[in-house]
């Protein structure tokens, strides 16, 4: 068993939105882009390592002070003051990394990162990925809806990469019992440069895993493979996208459903997406949680 270290960063997402229209053409499906207002959220990031370092420094100062003079109360006060300062850092401070799986604090994020290492090892053992070196990020939960038949929309995560893994629990809900299920679903936009240049992978609610390339606004299906019948109008699944050395693999509930090789694949923005499939009420809602992002070095 190969042991590897990677960086854990707990981050919150600043989402920007983009919507595209699907229209039939002779060579496939073209898209016409329409801009939608960005969502102006402020990103914040925790500073676990700084807090722990402050506590260690304070403890050392407190111990030294107690040894030199009989002032235990003063030492305790010094420790408390340092702890307070470390946990009230400015939200605009640069992110601090916590190295490897050595527990610094017993947090849910650290536990989830440890669990993800098992997935990483399995992919490596299966030959799906060529390395286990990279940075791990736990993204904030996501929930959005969209009601515009024939359109899909995406929300930027704030991260960009060429080779990466994104895994998430996803739940969907449609306002219609008769939606256009092949054009309704939840997924991931990647290698995104603009509305005319990106890749898209999604689990359509008719049970297919679809890998799409959009170049100069032209929609090309790289592959479309049937996973199985899904629960509609609402249901849930676990999806995972693996992109390594221009090889794309899409998993549903641990099963590798769709694979493709695309030599034109480049680094680009990573986003979360949904396809509407209906104009009724709220349209289609996608909720994602436990969003693991691993970017290869």
- In words, the CATH class of domain 7-45+98-296 is mainly beta
Q: So what's the pLDDT on residue 107? A: 73
How far is the C-alpha of 262 from the C-alpha of 275, rounded, in Å?
A: 23
Domain boundaries, the chain: 7-45+98-296, 48-86
Helix-, strand-, coil-residue percentages of the chain, each rounded to 5: 20, 45, 35
The yes-or-no verdict on residue 120 having pLDDT over 60 is yes
Q: 182-198: per-residue pLDDT in tens?
A: 999 999 999 999 999 99
Pairing status of strand 134-139 against strand 7-10: parallel
Q: Is 255 strand, coil or helix?
A: strand
Q: Which of the pair, 41 or 108, is modelled with greater confidence?
A: 108
Residues of the chain above pLDDT 70, percent: 64
Averaged pLDDT of the chain: 76
User: Measuring CA to CA, which residue among 286, 242, 13 is closest to residue 138?
Assistant: 13
Tell me the chain's radius of gyration from C-alpha atoms.
23
How far is the C-alpha of 83 from the C-alpha of 20, rounded, in Å?
A: 48
Q: So what's the pLDDT on residue 75? A: 36
Are the CB atoms for 140 and 289 separated by under 8 Å?
A: no
Global pTM reads 0.68
Q: Is 77 strand, coil or helix?
A: helix
How far is the C-alpha of 288 from the C-alpha of 103, rounded, in Å?
A: 26
Q: So what's the pLDDT on residue 111? A: 87
């Amino acid at each position: 068993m190969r042991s590897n270290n990677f960086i854990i960063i707990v981050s919150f997402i600043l989402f920007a939105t983009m919507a595209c229209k699907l229209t039939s053409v002779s060579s496939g499906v073209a898209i016409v882009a329409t801009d939608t207002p960005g969502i102006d959220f402020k990103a914040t990031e925790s500073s676990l390592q700084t807090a722990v370092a402050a506590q260690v420094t304070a403890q050392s100062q407190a111990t030294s002070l107690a040894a030199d003079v009989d002032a235990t109360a003063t030492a305790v006060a010094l420790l408390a003051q340092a702890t307070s300062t470390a946990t009230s850092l400015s939200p605009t401070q640069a992110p601090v990394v916590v190295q490897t799986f050595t527990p610094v604090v017993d947090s849910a994020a650290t536990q989830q990162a440890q669990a993800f290492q098992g997935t990483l090892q399995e992919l490596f053992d299966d030959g799906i990925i060529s390395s286990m070196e990279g940075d791990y990020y736990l993204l904030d939960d996501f929930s959005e809806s969209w009601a515009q038949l024939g359109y899909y929309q995406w929300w930027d995560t704030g991260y960009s990469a060429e080779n990466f893994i994104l895994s998430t629990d996803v739940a969907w809900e449609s306002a219609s019992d008769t939606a256009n299920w092949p054009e309704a679903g939840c997924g991931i936009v990647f290698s995104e440069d603009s509305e005319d240049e990106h890749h898209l992978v999604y689990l359509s609610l008719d049970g297919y895993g679809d890998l799409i390339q959009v170049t100069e606004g032209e929609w090309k299906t790289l592959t479309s493979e049937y996973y199985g019948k899904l629960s509609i109008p609402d249901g849930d699944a676990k999806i995972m996208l693996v992109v390594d050395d221009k090889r794309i693999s899409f998993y549903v509930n641990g099963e590798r459903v769709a694979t493709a090789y695309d030599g034109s694949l480049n680094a680009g923005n990573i986003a979360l997406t949904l396809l509407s499939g209906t104009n009724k009420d709220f349209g289609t809602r996608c909720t994602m949680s436990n969003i693991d992002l691993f970017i290869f070095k």
